Amino acid sequence: MNRSTFSLALIALLALMLSACVAQAPAAPASEEEQMAAEEEPMAEEAVEAGSEAEFEQILACVEENFPAESYFTNELLPAADAAWEPMECDSVDSIKVGMPWVLNDEEAPWYNAIELGYFADVCLEVELVAGGPGVDHLQTLAGGAVDIAVVAGGSRVPSLVSSPTPADVVAVGTFLKHSPYIWLGLDPDTPQDQRSDKVLTPQDFIGTKVGIQGNDDYLFNFMSNKYDIPPDQVELMAAGFTPDPVLMGAMDYIGAWIVNQPRLLEEQGFMNWVAFRFSDWGWDGYGDVTVVRRETLEENPDLVRRFLAAQTQGLNYLLENPDASAEIAVIYGVDAQLTKEQALRRFELQESLVLGSDDLPVSHMSADRWNMQVASMIQYDQLELEACK
């Protein structure tokens, strides 16, 4: 071996030994500053959540003391869970108008059943269903006397009206949906289009996405962002309508929707792989399609309210026990929408868990704790003002 070759071999050997030492050498310990930075991030997230929870508990205590749910809701006139259905002997019939939560579609199935199957007639009532829809506020028409009873899509509007600077004295007396149907709806790219997704979305899944919302629903994002420490600048909120078309076109990743409506539209276009973030599972919940009366009606004619609720509940129970027959009735009575029996059945399937709830109370019954928690959340996220709780 000549001198040049020996030198090159020696250099190569030294390089190999040096690289082995570097690879096997333990990493240098993190500096105190680096360790503190690593610890601060989860601690900061915990502090945000703890601060939010502490604020909520303080507001909730104030609500329970100054604006308790019992001041604007009651279960007292609802029938007992085991009450037998007994038609009355009618000397006279009361004719009443009932404002519906939306246009006449399959949402109002319990009330259609009560008309078609004679439950209202059995308790000496003649009921006219007055359609709701865009621009129609039946909580206001109730307060003004244009309808005798109102079914309000968003139960949160009851305490909002009762506590407003221009209040109306109304009382919630029953509910159709025990959980909020509001969701953020998207498609699961990891599931084939023709198969149902079992993915469970978390708040963190929305980081880096575009979400379409309607009207002033941004407060729901503010709730989620604050409670689960989602950076507001990492979710792009966009104005959206009421169809899932922007999701199908790729213009948005998710869209605000109701679990009983827009998923059906996706399925009808062949997209079975939709996925939903249910706000009711993550701390923002409330009652839907709530039956409301004026307090004067409750006090002056409780028997009328009791009879109405008995027939309404009978129609609801029939829906739960006989979805097929109820779908056929809904198609006939849902005159404001072009419905098929299959569409109605799918709605009934999607809404069943919302109707039954998870509170161990009979159908239509409500909880003071749920009302108080919803009002506290609304105050915390600037959706309701209560002077005593500022």
Residue 373 located in a structural domain: yes
In a domain, 293, yes or no: yes
Tokens of 264: 């059906």
Tens-place pLDDT, residues 177-224: 999 999 999 999 999 999 999 999 999 999 999 999 998 888 999 999
Rounded to an integer, what distance in angstroms lies between the CA atom of residue 73 and that of residue 189? 44
CA distance 236 to 241: 16
Instruction: Please name the residue that has the structure tokens 């072009």.
Output: 338
Task: Give the 3-state secondary structure of residue 290.
Answer: strand
Distance CA(46)–CA(285), nearest Å, equals 23
Low-confidence ranges of the chain (pLDDT < 50): 1-28, 34, 36-43
Residue 224's alpha-carbon distances to 40, 54, 227, 270, 314, in angstroms, are 21, 16, 5, 31, 37
- Compute the radius of gyration of the chain from its Cα atoms: 28
Q: Do 89 and 157 have their domain in common?
A: yes
In this structure, the answer to whether residues 168 and 303 fall within a common structural domain is: yes
85, 202: one domain: no
User: Per the domain annotation, does 5 fall within a domain?
Assistant: no
- Phi-psi map region of 364: left, alpha, beta (phi>0 left; psi -120 to 50 alpha): left
71 and 61 share one domain: yes
114 with 162, same domain? yes
- The answer to whether position 39 is within a domain reads no
Please tell me whether residues 291 and 174 are part of one structural domain.
Answer: yes
User: Tell me: the pLDDT tens digits for 221-280?
Assistant: 999 999 999 999 999 999 999 899 999 999 999 999 999 999 999 999 999 999 999 999
Q: What does the pLDDT read at residue 21?
A: 36
CB contact at 8 A, 232 and 206: no
The candidate with the shortest Cα–Cα distance to 214, out of 189, 235, 193, 240, is: 240
Q: What is the pLDDT of residue 140?
A: 95
* Degrees to nearest 5, angle at CA 357 with 158 and 201: 95
Domain edge (last residue) among 282, 313, 330: 282
Q: Which residues pair with 149 in a beta bridge?
A: 98
Helix intervals (H) in the chain: 3-24, 32-66, 109-116, 119-122, 138-144, 157-162, 218-228, 245-249, 262-268, 295-300, 302-321, 323-333, 341-356, 368-380
Would you call 216 helix, strand, or coil by DSSP?
coil
Residues 186 and 176 in one domain: no
Per-residue tokens: 232:
């507001």
Last residue of a domain, one of 236, 267, 282: 282
* Separation of alpha carbons 258 and 261, rounded Å: 5
Q: What angle is formed at CA 256 by the lines to CA 254 and CA 260, rounded to 5 degrees? A: 110
- pLDDT for 390: 80
Q: At 98, which helix (H) or strand (E)?
A: strand 94-99
The pLDDT assigned to 49 comes to 56
* Full residue range of the structural domain in which residue 359 is found: 55-180+286-389
Residue 134 is given by DSSP the state T
CA-closest candidate to residue 332, choices 324, 343, 322, 340: 340
Q: Is residue 21 part of a domain?
A: no
Contacts of 40 by beta carbon, 8 Å cutoff, 6+ apart: none
Triad 266, 270, 274: Cα angle to 5°: 45
Number of domains making up the chain = 2
CA 76 to chain centre: 25
Assess whether 364 and 293 both reside in one domain.
yes
Last residue of a domain, one of 282, 317, 337: 282
CATH classification at residue 205: 3.40.190.10
pTM of the model as a whole: 0.86
Is 42 inside a domain boundary?
no
- If you search the block for the tokens 């003391």, which residue do you land on? 65
pLDDT of residue 73: 98
Q: Are residues 62 and 139 in the same domain?
A: yes
Tell me, yes or no, whether 266 and 323 share the same domain: no
Model pLDDT, residue 187: 98
Domain identity same for 158 and 294: yes
Q: Is residue 28 assigned to a domain?
A: no
Of 279, 87, 304, give the one whose Cα is nearest residue 181.
279
Read off φ and ψ for residue 289, nearest 5 degrees. Answer: 55, 65
Whether 64 and 209 map to the same domain: the answer is no
